[in-house]
Amino acid sequence: MLTLYPYETLGHADHGWLDARHHFSFAMYHNPKRLGFGELIVINDDKVTAGRGFGTHPHDNMEIITYVRKGAITHKDSMGNVGRTAAGDIQVMSAGTGVFHSEYNLENEDTTLYQIWIRPDKRGVQPRWEAKAFPKVPVEGVLPLLVSGRSEHKDSGAAFIHQDAAIYGGNIKAATTITQAVKHQAYILASLGSFTVNGETLKQGDGAEIVGEPVLTITALTDAEILIIDTPAITQH
């Protein structure tokens, strides 16, 4: 079953320097019907003004993934990590026992990104951060694996998280059809363009929950950028 969440229906907060769309309840946006999707609890579609960003703030016991869609974001944290993540690449922070970090757009253009939070399968881990760059060429067959905590993906080159979840993403050309297996349940993000998933159409900015469909057939109606978050249902904590 596919449930579509059009861009126009998402939560919205405009802070001037930050224009955010919330797929789930976050900060001042609260929707009791949108509290997460299994262990996936935050997807923020953010546009950060050039030269602005998120000042130093704390996190703990959360897997925080940033997928940059345009521009770049520069990360700095209390572990001593500093890094710049550009469009099409990802960074992952396992907050664990606690970490402070900041995220700034130091570019001369606005940066757009997805911030994704997934509950970890174990609490109190050692905090860590990593960034990964991926090829930007359009793909055929299946989307590249970007992030995973699954044992079968240990040597895949994907960024690691503490959860039995996986994130796939990339670009496909118009009229291309790909298939994607789903282990648990999937949340789809239409980062760019439009495409169909098992016959349902998503346009840029939309999201969709897919439950009970182990194989996704995706056909690009235009050149498109897609993210698939395969996440478990809520487990015991």
Tell me whether residue 236 is in a domain. no
Query: Is the separation of the CB atoms in 112 and 70 below 8 Å?
Result: yes
Which long-range contacts does 82-85 make (Cβ < 8 Å, 24+ apart)? 83/129, 83/131, 85/131
Q: What is the pLDDT of residue 215?
A: 97
pLDDT score of 235: 67
Distance CA 210, CA 183 (A): 11
In a domain, 198, yes or no: yes
- Give the separation between CA 227 and CA 15, rounded to whole angstroms: 26
Distance between CA atoms of residues 113 and 71, nearest Å: 9
Distances in whole angstroms, Cα of residue 177 to Cα of each of 71, 141, 168, 188, 221: 28, 7, 15, 16, 10
**Is residue 103 in a domain?**
yes
Please check whether residue 182 lies inside any domain of the structure. yes
Tens digit of pLDDT per residue, the chain (237 long)? 999 999 999 999 999 999 999 999 999 999 999 999 999 999 999 999 999 999 999 999 999 999 999 999 999 999 999 999 999 999 999 999 999 999 999 999 999 999 999 999 999 999 999 999 988 899 888 899 999 999 999 999 999 999 999 999 999 999 999 999 999 999 999 999 999 999 999 999 999 999 999 999 999 999 999 999 999 998 655
Structure tokens at 124: 């109190």
For residues 222 and 207, give the distance between their C-alpha atoms in angstroms, rounded to a whole number: 17
Give the separation between CA 59 and CA 79, rounded to whole angstroms.
13
Specify the pLDDT at position 236: 54
| Contact present, 58 and 98 (Cβ < 8 Å) | yes
Query: What pLDDT, on a 0 to 100 scale, did the predictor assign at position 140?
Result: 85
Question: Domain for residue 151, yes or no?
Answer: yes
Helices (H), 98-157: none
Q: Give how many domains the chain has, as a whole number.
A: 1
Would 201 be classed as within a structural domain? Answer: yes
How far is residue 209's CA from residue 190's CA, in Å, rounded to a whole number?
A: 12
Task: Please provide the size of the chain in residues.
Answer: 237
pLDDT at 136: 87
Cα–Cα dist 27/121, whole Å:
23
Query: Residue 237 domain-assigned?
Result: no
pLDDT of 234: 81
CATH number for the domain harbouring residue 79? 2.60.120.10
135 burial type by CB count under 10 A (0-12 exposed, 13-18 middle, 19+ buried): exposed
- pTM of the predicted model as reported, rounded to 2 decimal places: 0.96
Backbone φ and ψ for 196, nearest 5 degrees, come out as -105, 145
Q: How far apart are CA 39 and CA 221, in angstroms?
A: 30
Boundaries of domain holding 71:
2-231
